[in-house]
Amino acid sequence: MSHFTLYTYVLSASCYKVRLMAALLGVPYDSVAVNFYPGFEHRSEAMLALNPWGTLPILRAGDLVLTETQAMLGWLATNHDPTGRWYPAADPALGPQVLQWLGLAARLTGSAGLARLHAILDWPVDGEAVRKAALKDLQELELLLTDRVLAGQTWLVGDHPTIADIACFPHAALSPDAGLEHDGFPAIRNWLYAVRSLPGFVTMPGIHELHELREREPADPQ
């Protein structure tokens, strides 16, 4: 299996999550740009026929349609990473740890993701409530990452980046868009740098390349 179609919007952190995973794995795909804003095309009849929940991104591979980004990352790694290191699902210790982090990734989408949409697109949600929830989720990420650092580790699970890192990265990286700066989160800052220095890393508006890291010994994700 080598090809899929991604329905995507350039300013969406959730869509970027899947684009980033595909880039890191070197998986080619077709892109369909959806006018999420100001067109609200994701709620058009044609798009709702594909995804009745009216969200982006949508991944289509033959008859398979996925609407949850965490599932998309799992699908990509399962089908396109012969090493199994990006998603060590069968490992009795690492597999459940990855799933644990995917829970936080989903919560970050509903907190930091919505807080950002509210800040940049005036999304009709309670801005203060989602910002507060986002702060709590970022504090949790910081605490758990500090534990990892104290254990001498860079990545969220094991000693290799996994879909857990990619699932949590976009909404954490873009939280300053919602006024949630990284100054008080040193462990998050270092981890964001580590993800951004991965070979094959791609950017989106608001997340830049780390030119200063180009001279560094590249991490070997395989």
Ligand X SMILES: N[C@@H](CCC(=O)N[C@@H](CS)C(=O)NCC(=O)O)C(=O)O
Place of tokens 């991104």: 57
**67 or 154: CB nearest ligand X:** 67
Answer for the pair 58, 33: CB distance below 8 angstroms, yes or no.
no
**40 or 216: CB nearest ligand X:** 40
Contact characters 37-66, ligand X, x per CB under 6 A: -----x-----------xxx----------
Assess 111 for contact with ligand X (CB under 6 A): no
Sheet holding 64-66, edge to edge: 30-33, 5-8, 58-61, 64-66
Shortest Cβ 160–ligand X spacing (Å): 23
Phi and psi at 191, nearest 5°, equal -70, -40
User: Rounded CA gap, 72 and 70, in Å?
Assistant: 5
Q: Which helix (H) or strand (E) holds 115?
A: helix 114-121
Shortest Cβ 105–ligand X spacing (Å): 8
Among 8, 24, 94, 109, binds ligand X (CB under 6 A): 109
Among 5, 31, 44, 67, binds ligand X (CB under 6 A): 67
Answer for the pair 80, 28: CB distance below 8 angstroms, yes or no.
no
Shortest Cβ 128–ligand X spacing (Å): 18
Shortest Cβ 118–ligand X spacing (Å): 11
Answer for the pair 198, 161: CB distance below 8 angstroms, yes or no.
yes
Contact characters 20-39, ligand X, x per CB under 6 A: --------------------
